Amino acid sequence: MTMADTNRQDALRYLFERVVAPLGFKFTPDEELAAFLLEQEVKLEQDHGAPFCPCQGRTGVRADDMKIVCPCIPFHREHFDRMRRCWCGLFVHKDVTDPGSLPQFPPDEA
Amino acid sequence: MSGPPWVATVDDAKVPEGVPVAVYPKGLPVLVIRRDGELFAVANKCAHMGCPLEAGALDGYTLTCPCHDWRFDIRDGEFLDAPELSLATFAVKVDDGKVLVRLEEA
Amino acid sequence: MADQVFLYALSTCPWCRKAKQWFTDMNVPFEFVDVDKLKRREQSEIAEKVFELSGGRRYPVAVINGEVVAGYNPERYLQLLNSVG
């Protein structure tokens, strides 16, 4: 990981914090997980043009793919609100202190 | 007169209908847009990752960011997929053939 | 009966890594594919398969003895395995 990559991770943290806070989310307190996910996003941005979700697959159809650019909360809000986290877990509801306890389930499951 | 100043930007004649124009009152990135003859001014910086919006597509009052397709209403700046997020908007008027932008969020 | 486990994963996804680790720790033999590491054409084929199975493109997707589990869900994994639990 280069210095530039680290700087980009910091930039993404700054940009995303401003997006997710008004939506009731914060960065996961699991620092190791957050660092890993941001590292992947910087790589995805370098290789594929945008910081896509590291845990969702691109289809090549722009309308689909733009809905999984981080932070993708606005496009999956009901689902993520029910999980109290986003799919990859980079963001959790503001009151979450134990992110490891939050289950990951698809939108059609309770 | 007190309050935030009106800052002259571009010639009114140089703002065509439906084509966003980037201006920089006191260095601030602002977008002036004429839609159905009415002028609007919004921050020229996407609420997502800060991309400039002047190359974005305008459809009615909806401006789509060229970077990741985030969509905003140019009338109130609202992000269409989450009303909690928005672009700053600015008061705008024409005086003596110039478009003036007031540098305080409307 | 021996368990049949297949895991669709992304190399960039920590929950996919956790799933692989979980099956390894439980001594459950499994096969997997990192979809993003495939060649482009294979990638779309498998991604379509994942969509058919799970109705989405959220990873990981585990197929355990014919049952599909989307998301990292050890509780559900345990329920579906014959050899553990």
ipTM of the complex: 0.94
Whether A106 sits inside 8 A of C35 (CB atoms) is no
Contact between A19 and B48 using a beta-carbon 8 Å cutoff: yes
- Whether B47 is covered by a domain: the verdict is yes
Residues B61-90 have pLDDT tens digits of: 999 999 999 999 999 999 999 999 999 999
What burial letters (b/e) apply to A55-91, b meaning 16+ CB within 10 Å?
A: bbbbeeeeeebbbbbbbbbbebbebbeebbbbbbbbb
Paired residues of B34 in beta bridges: B17, B39
* Chain A residue numbers touching C15 (CB-CB < 8 A): 55, 88-89, 104
Structural domains in chain A?
3-95 (3.90.460.10)
Give the residue among A87, A74, A106, A107 at the shortest CA–CA distance from A28: A87
Q: Which of A84, A92, A104 to mutate to test the interface with C (most CBs of C within 10 A)?
A: A104
Q: Is A106 touching C (CB cutoff 8 A)?
A: yes
pTM, two decimals, is 0.93
pLDDT in tens, A28-58: 999 999 999 999 999 999 999 999 999 999 9
For chain B, the domain total comes to 1
Transcribe C61-75 into DSSP letters. Answer: EEEETTEEEES--HH
Is C83 in contact with C65 (CB distance < 8 Å)?
A: no
What tokens were used for A68? 């999984």
Torsion of CA B18, B68, A7, C60, to 10 degrees: 170
Question: What distance in Å separates the CA atoms of residue A103 and residue B3, rounded to the nearest whole number?
Answer: 51
C82 pLDDT above the threshold of 70: yes
Highest mean pLDDT among B102-106, C41-45, C80-84: C41-45
Listed by start position, the domains of chain C span: 5-80
CATH fold, domain C5-80, is Glutaredoxin (3.40.30)
DSSP assignment of B70-105: -EEETTT-BBTT-TT-B--EEEEEEETTEEEEEEEE
**CA–CA gap between residue C44 and residue A13 (Å, rounded):** 31
Q: Residue-wise over B31-43: b if at least 16 C-beta within 10 A, else e?
A: bbbbbeeebbbbb
Query: Rounded to 5 degrees, what are φ and ψ at C68?
Result: -100, 130
Q: Which of C11, C20, C58, C67 is most worth mutating to test chain A (most A CB atoms within 10 A of its CB)?
A: C58
Which residue range(s) make up the domain with B88? 6-105
Best of B49, B64, B81 to disrupt the A interface by mutation (most A CBs within 10 Å)?
B49
CATH code for position B90: 2.102.10.10
pLDDT tier, A22 (very low <50, low <70, confident <90, very high otherwise): very high
Contact across the interface for A23 and B84, Cβ inside 8 Å: yes
Does pLDDT of C64 surpass 90?
yes
Taking CB atoms and an 8 Å limit, are B82 and A77 in contact across chains?
yes
pLDDT level of residue A1 (50, 70, 90 thresholds): confident
Flag whether residue B68 sits within 8 Å of chain A, measured between CB atoms.
yes
Tell if the CB–CB gap between C58 and A56 is shorter than 8 Å: yes
Taking the CA of residue A48 and the nearest CA in chain B, the distance in Å comes to 12
Subunit contact A54:C47, Cβ cutoff 8 A = no
Q: Is the peptide bond prior to C60 cis by the omega test (within 30 degrees of 0)?
A: yes
Beta strand C31-34 with C5-9 is: parallel
